[in-house]
Amino acid sequence: MDDCIFCKIIKGELPSYKIYEDKFTYAFLDISNDGNGHILVVPKHHCENILDAREEDLENVIKTIQKISKHLTQNCGFDGVNILNASGKSAEQSVFHLHFHILPRKDKDGLKVFPSLTKNPKSLKDIQKSLKVD
């Protein structure tokens, strides 16, 4: 896609701090420079988000996420990782090329990355009924 910033990064038209690349995926540091090595993993094939992604793109992206996450915990001194994704404007997706965030974590690093949600007044049974996949 011509106007996609991540496609431009993948093609080398825009600079990035590459962490990993293979035939199907590209991983680079997020320019926000927050956390201790905030990494974005994207498929090289353009898709907007998880809702329109090809199955093979999802498979390749998750394999790359695991590879990088293992490297971070086995070789870089991290204790764990957060894997985050936003799919769709209402989910606060800001760049419309599928991407996952890897946030390397250390015990007691003080980062709070999960949102604080309010309790739903509906029962779990009612919610299940409305959301169940047949």
Residues designated catalytic: 99
Q: Which residues contact 15 (CB under 8 A, 6 or more apart)?
A: 9
CA distance 9 to 25: 12
CA distance 30 to 51: 22
Residue 24, both tokens: 């199907």
